[in-house]
A = this chain, B = another copy of it.
Amino acid sequence: MSHDAPLSPLAPKSAPEIPPLEGVRFGVGAAGVRYAGRTDVMLALLDARTTVAGVFTKSKCPSAPVDWCRDKLKGGKARALLVNSGNANAFTGKTGAQAVKFSAKLAAAATGAPERQIFLASTGVIGEPLDAHKFDGVLEKLAQEARPDGWLDAARAILTTDTYPKLSTRRATIAGVDVTISGFAKGAGMIAPDMATMLAFVFTDAAIGAEALQAMLESGVKGSFNAITVDGDTSTSDTLLLFATGAAKQRGAPKIEKASDKRLVEFKRALDAVLLDLAHQVVRDGEGARKFVEVTVTGADSARAAKRIAFSIANSPLVKTAIAGEDANWGRIVMAVGKAGENADRDRLAIWFGGVRVAHKGLRDPDYDEAEVSQIMKRDDIVINVDLGLGKGAATVWTCDLTKDYVAINGDYRS
A interface residues, Cβ below 8 angstroms from B: 57-62, 90-95, 125-128, 189, 192-194, 231-236, 315-318, 321-322, 324-327, 329-332, 334-347, 349, 359, 361-364, 378, 402-404, 406-408, 410-415
CA distance A292 to B404 in the complex (A): 20
Cβ A325 vs Cβ B410 within 8 A: yes
A109 to chain B, nearest CB (A): 28
The one of B57, B231, B334, B336 in contact with A318, judged by C-beta atoms closer than 8 angstroms, is B231
> What residues of B have a CB within 8 angstroms of the CB of A316 in the complex?
232-233
CA distance A346 to B332 in the complex (A): 36
CA distance A316 to B233 in the complex (A): 6
Cβ A58 vs Cβ B341 within 8 A: yes
Cβ A234 vs Cβ B414 within 8 A: no
> What residues of B have a CB within 8 angstroms of the CB of A406 in the complex?
317, 321, 407
How many chain copies? Answer: 2
CA distance A29 to B317 in the complex (A): 34
> What residues of B have a CB within 8 angstroms of the CB of A347 in the complex?
93-94
> What residues of B have a CB within 8 angstroms of the CB of A340 in the complex?
60
Cβ B363 vs Cβ A93 within 8 A: yes
The one of B324, B336, B408 in contact with A413, judged by C-beta atoms closer than 8 angstroms, is B324
Cβ A410 vs Cβ B193 within 8 A: no
Question: Nearest 5 pairs between A and B by C-beta?
Answer: A59-B338, A61-B338, A93-B362, A234-B339, A325-B411
Nearest opposing residue in chain B for A329, CB measure: B194
A256 to chain B, nearest CB (A): 35
Nearest opposing residue in chain B for A323, CB measure: B411
CA distance A126 to B125 in the complex (A): 43
CA distance A325 to B409 in the complex (A): 10
Given A329-B194, A331-B91, A404-B408, are A346 and B415 neighbors across the interface (CB < 8 Å)?
no
A302 to chain B, nearest CB (A): 15
> What residues of B have a CB within 8 angstroms of the CB of A231 in the complex?
317-318
Cβ A415 vs Cβ B326 within 8 A: yes
Cβ B91 vs Cβ A363 within 8 A: yes
Cβ B59 vs Cβ A411 within 8 A: no
CA distance A413 to B377 in the complex (A): 12
> What residues of B have a CB within 8 angstroms of the CB of A403 in the complex?
407, 411
Beyond A235-B335, A317-B410, A325-B412, 8 additional pairs, beta carbon < 8 A? A60-B337, A61-B346, A93-B347, A94-B362, A126-B331, A189-B318, A404-B411, A407-B407
A-B contact pairs, 21 of them (CB 8 A): A58-B339, A59-B335, A60-B342, A60-B345, A61-B335, A90-B334, A91-B363, A125-B331, A127-B330, A128-B364, A192-B318, A193-B331, A236-B334, A236-B335, A236-B346, A317-B317, A322-B412, A326-B414, A326-B415, A404-B408, A404-B411
Cβ A334 vs Cβ B232 within 8 A: no
> What residues of B have a CB within 8 angstroms of the CB of A94 in the complex?
347, 362
The one of B189, B321, B334 in contact with A61, judged by C-beta atoms closer than 8 angstroms, is B334
Given A316-B233, A317-B232, are A91 and B334 neighbors across the interface (CB < 8 Å)?
yes
CA distance A13 to B332 in the complex (A): 33
Nearest opposing residue in chain B for A237, CB measure: B335
> What residues of B have a CB within 8 angstroms of the CB of A361 in the complex?
93
Nearest opposing residue in chain B for A327, CB measure: B412
A206 to chain B, nearest CB (A): 34
Cβ B60 vs Cβ A341 within 8 A: yes
Which residue among A329, A341, A378 has the maximum number of chain B CB atoms within 10 Å of its CB?
A: A329
CA distance A194 to B335 in the complex (A): 9
A381 to chain B, nearest CB (A): 17
The one of B125, B232, B321, B349 in contact with A407, judged by C-beta atoms closer than 8 angstroms, is B321
Nearest opposing residue in chain B for A235, CB measure: B335
CA distance A345 to B59 in the complex (A): 11
Nearest opposing residue in chain B for A360, CB measure: B93
The one of B95, B332, B404, B414 in contact with A404, judged by C-beta atoms closer than 8 angstroms, is B404
CA distance A93 to B334 in the complex (A): 13
A65 to chain B, nearest CB (A): 13
